[in-house]
Amino acid sequence: MTPTEHDVLIVIDVQNDFCPGGALAVPDGDAVVPLANALAQTFPHIVFTQDWHPAGHESFASSHSGHNPFETIDVAYGPQTLWPDHCVQGTRGAAFHAGLETTGAELIIRKGFRREIDSYSAFFENDHATATGLEGYLNSRKLTRVVLCGLATDFCVAFSAIDSAKCGYETVVVEDACRAIDLEGSLAAARRQMVDAGVKFVTSSNIRSA
């Protein structure tokens, strides 16, 4: 595929806490950095997302006495995986990976900043109703194809891709420019859900400059 003026690259959560040494490290997470940088050179529009939690966020296991990271509990908006404290606002863990080239960003979407609700998707928080504003931005810019890469494939990338497709955008995931957590088969399940939503998959070698 060759990006056009109607295409946007969305780079999902390439932050220190999701990379090796971080509080919620995705295996091999930093391997997406050079691929994301290379992809950014081929797209006319680039958006980044950034997990941006307040201390004591509802999704942190430390906020729920007697519970441990990676357990699932029920909260007001449904099942919630509990995570180690991560991407706390203003900390080094919440910062973008130092090797990630962000100067071309037209927009940075910060998500998960409401203490009482988690937010995986670039489009909606986990109640599937509270919008981030991304859809309005894409519509106002007349962008019709969304291409995603980043972390993690089975959570924030998948949620973003599925919501993108539901919102009516042609949606593509660059598989080799993503990495997964894969909790108890979560990667295979997420891929099935993306396929069912109409999401397409490519590798970075399939994307060429005009």
141-166 tens-digit pLDDT: 999 999 999 999 999 999 999 999 99
Residue type, 85: D
Domain-embedded: residue 132: yes
Domain-embedded: residue 178: yes
Residue reference for tokens 């029920």: 74
Retrieve residue 190's tokens: 């997420």
Known catalytic residues are 13, 111, 156
Name the DSSP letter for residue 54. Answer: P
Mean pLDDT for 134-147 is 97
Domain-embedded: residue 76: no
Domain count for the chain, please give it: 1
Domain-embedded: residue 23: yes
| pLDDT value of position 40 | 96
Residue reference for tokens 């397409």: 200
Domain-embedded: residue 144: yes
Residue reference for tokens 């296991």: 61
| pLDDT value of position 169 | 98
- Give the confidence band of 10 by pLDDT, cuts at 50, 70, 90: very high
Domain-embedded: residue 106: yes
Mind listing the pLDDT tens digit for each residue in 12-62?
999 999 999 999 999 999 999 999 999 999 999 999 999 999 999 999 999
Residue 210 pLDDT greater than 80, yes or no: no
**How many whole angstroms separate alpha carbon 179 and alpha carbon 87?**
18
Mind listing the pLDDT tens digit for each residue in 82-124?
999 999 999 999 999 999 999 999 999 999 999 999 999 999 9
Q: CATH code at 131?
A: 3.40.50.850
Domain that holds residue 196: 7-54+84-206
